[in-house]
Amino acid sequence: LVKINVTIPLEQEKIMLGNVVASKTRTRRRKPQRASTSTATHNTSTLSAAAAAPAAAAFAPSSTMGKKVLNNNTSSNKARGKAAGNKDKVESHKITEYFQPRRSERKTGKQIEEETTVKMEEALSSGSCEDDLIVYSEEFKGRGIRAGRSYVKNELVVEYRGDMIDYETAKLREEEYGRDHSIGSYMYFFKYKNKHWCVDATKESPFKGRLVNHSALRPNLKTKVVEMGGQHHLILIAKRSIEEGEELLYDYGDRTPATVAQNPWLVNS
């Protein structure tokens, strides 16, 4: 038995090793990619890694086209690894990515205001807003009103209904009512368009706005004057969000010393 030693030059050994690796790689894919000139100058380990990479790594996915390409090797390796990991995934797209759906026309602030006004006028003329109010009675305050449903801020709650009279007529009535202590105070004075007015709701009626009690410390309603059909109306709107079952309260606003002296609850309740 004769032992023969064959010496292979170092450069030739590297080439053979590269061929072996390349041949193993070629059995994995149908169409091997020819190495570029810059790739041929890499060492054996670089050649092996490039040859072992899946064919999908040679081409960037269509979704990455047009994006900025980083020049550092670390970023390139990460990009190639990501592409190789997604080679079996099929990206799905929605048609809305290419054709934006037509949005419905948004209402302008003026349109919303007009719709709100129409709804308010219907509620006032029909009296339907009265249906959402609950009358209750207690020993100290007497009758009062609770919310039969929830309200949002600035929503119409009820109209303060009564006789709409001018200031001079109202003062004469007030003096008359003052002579009879059995008559409560149901007169609401206010100013509108530089003129003083009063809603006199002293006469008993089925309208519930006149029964809403006062609070200077925790009101959840406030008054507002609106015009409808050529006439102005005094309404109560939600000052904040109101939950169902809450007592409805607003500030009567009377701070005259004589009135407060006789009715201290006007400032401390």
Per-residue pLDDT of the chain (269 residues; tens, 9 = 90+): 555 555 545 444 444 444 444 444 444 445 555 544 444 444 444 434 444 444 444 334 444 333 333 344 444 444 444 444 454 544 554 544 444 555 556 778 888 778 888 888 898 888 899 999 999 998 888 899 999 999 999 999 999 999 999 999 999 999 999 899 888 889 999 999 999 999 999 999 999 999 999 999 999 999 999 998 889 999 999 999 999 999 999 998 888 888 788 878 888 88
Paired with 231 in beta bridges are 228
Closest by CA position to 224, among listed 171, 159, 134: 159
Closest by CA position to 167, among listed 128, 198, 208: 198
Q: How far apart are CA 185 and CA 198, in angstroms?
A: 12
